[in-house]
């Protein structure tokens, strides 16, 4: 975030989609950073960390490895565990809803919207028509596309899965993320089912 010039010290809320390390492993070093960085010393605004049930235990487990005190921050923090299918206000004026995805027991996609627009993030997921219904009409669908064609496992997506999900979701724009190494030598499709598509590579800027 710092490298890309994002205002990381003022981050309002964090969503943890599930407990695989590639989705939550950054949380502990981030909180270790906010605890000690000069940039956050004068912050008083609260930070909320949302995620599936079990999130409190996960952070406690990180803490117990070395008494980090990850929640003893210069500013107030709150961990909020969200059941699948729940609607809640992730921030004032920003509505959110979760959807249980076929990936791990706790994995959840999230849809957020305010008066300026809407975004759905698939988290990690296997194929689900209902995920497409959940994301219907969003401005931006940020969706995992681990594989291009052949799937080694059923708990992730490939391009043809996304084509199918996009038929139900009909988003304005698709961003493919969670790209496995086979994508390294593969260029992005410019559209999926007629919908503009880009790859979520490092440093990409997306306007919606
Ligand atoms: Zn995962
Ligand atoms: Zn993952």
Is the pLDDT higher at 142 or at 4? 142
Q: What is the pLDDT of residues 120-133, one digit of tens each?
A: 999 999 999 999 99
Burial class of 185 by CB neighbour count within 10 A (0 to 12, 13 to 18, 19+) = exposed
Q: Name the band, by pLDDT with cuts 50, 70 and 90, for residue 208.
A: confident
- 68 DSSP 8-state letter: -
| Ligand 1 center to 178 CA (angstroms) | 9
Q: What pLDDT does residue 205 have?
A: 86
- Residue 57 pLDDT level (bands cut at 50, 70, 90): very high
20 C-alpha vs ligand 1 centroid, how far in Å?
5
Q: Mean pLDDT of all residues in the chain?
A: 96
Whole-prediction pTM value? 0.95
Which residues are registered as beta bridge partners of 156? none
Torsion angle (degrees, nearest 10) of CA 65, 66, 72, 77:
-20
> Residue 107 burial (CB < 10 Å; 0-12/13-18/19+)?
buried
The 10s digit of each residue's pLDDT in 71-98 is 999 999 999 999 999 999 999 999 999 9
Task: Using the mean position of ligand 2's atoms as its centre, give its distance from the Cα of residue 62 in Å.
Answer: 19
Task: Note the pLDDT of residue 146.
Answer: 98
Distance 102 CA to ligand 2 centre (A): 13
Q: Are 47 and 33 in contact (CB under 8 A)?
A: no
Averaged pLDDT, 43-63: 97
Cα-to-centroid distance, 180 and ligand 1 (Å):
12
Cross-strand bridge partners of residue 191: 196
d(CA 58, CA 97): 22
Give residue 49's pLDDT: 98
How close is the Cα of 38 to the center of ligand 1, in Å?
A: 33
pLDDT at position 187 is 87
């Amino acid at each position: 975030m710092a490298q890309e010039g994002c205002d990381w010290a003022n981050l309002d809320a964090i969503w943890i989609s599930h407990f695989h390390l590639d989705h939550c492993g950054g949380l502990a070093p981030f909180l270790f950073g906010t605890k000690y960085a000069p940039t956050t010393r004068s912050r008083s605004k609260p930070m909320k960390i949302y995620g599936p049930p079990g999130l409190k235990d996960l952070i406690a487990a990180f803490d117990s490895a070395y008494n980090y005190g990850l929640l003893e921050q210069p500013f107030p923090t709150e961990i909020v565990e969200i059941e699948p299918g729940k609607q809640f206000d992730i921030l004032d004026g920003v509505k959110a809803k979760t959807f249980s995805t076929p990936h791990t027991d706790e994995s959840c996609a999230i849809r957020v919207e305010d008066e300026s627009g809407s975004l759905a993030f698939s988290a990690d997921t296997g194929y689900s028509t209902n995920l497409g219904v959940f994301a219907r009409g969003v401005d931006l669908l940020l969706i995992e596309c681990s594989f291009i064609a052949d799937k080694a496992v059923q708990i992730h997506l490939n391009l043809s899965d996304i084509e199918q999900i996009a038929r139900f979701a009909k988003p304005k724009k698709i961003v493919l993320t969670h790209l496995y190494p086979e994508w390294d030598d593969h260029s992005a499709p410019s559209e999926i089912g007629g919908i503009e598509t880009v790859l979520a590579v490092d440093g990409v800027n997306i306007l919606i």
